[in-house]
Amino acid sequence: MKTALIVEDEFIIAMNAADLFQGAGYATVEASNADEAIRQLEGRTDIAIVFTDVRMPGSMDGLALAHIVRDRWPPVKILVTSGHHVIHDGDLPDGGVFISKPYTERAVAEAIIALAV
C-alpha cells in the first residue's frame, strides 16, 4: 500500500487530511513540521506522496521541505497547501502541485489524480 506523509502542525487539519488520503486508498503517517517529515522520509521507503502546509513551526517552511523532498527523494510526489501564501512560478519544485486552503475533498482527490500517484 502506498503511504502519504501529512505535514501539518494543526491537529484537526492533519486528521482531516489523513482521512482524505485514507479514503483515496493510502496509508498515512504524520509530521508536525518539516524536520519531523525529513526524519520520516529517511526512515521509510513506502512514502509515495508528501502533503505539506507552507506555514509551520521549525527550521523551514513547507516550500523548503518540498524542494528538499524533490532533491533527496525524486520519485516522491509533492502536494503543497496554504491559506496564507500566494504561490508564484518557481516557488514549487518541478512536478509539485499547489491547492489553497480551505480545500475540499474533491480538490485533494483531483490533485492526487493530477500527480498520477
- φ and ψ of 75, to 5 deg: -75, -20
Q: 107: buried, middle or exposed (CB in 10 Å: 19+, 13-18, 0-12)?
A: middle
CATH for 37: 3.40.50.2300
- Per-residue confidence (pLDDT) for residue 96, from 0 to 100: 93
Count of domains for the chain: 1
| Tens digits of residue pLDDT in 17-38 | 999 999 989 999 999 999 999 9
| Alpha carbon distance 43, 53 (integer Å) | 21
Strand order in the sheet with 47-53: 27-31, 3-7, 47-53, 77-82, 97-100
Asked if the model's pLDDT at residue 117 lies above 80, the reply is no
Containing domain of residue 88, as a range?
A: 3-115
- The answer, as to whether pTM is greater than 0.75, is yes
Asked if the model's pLDDT at residue 61 lies above 80, the reply is yes
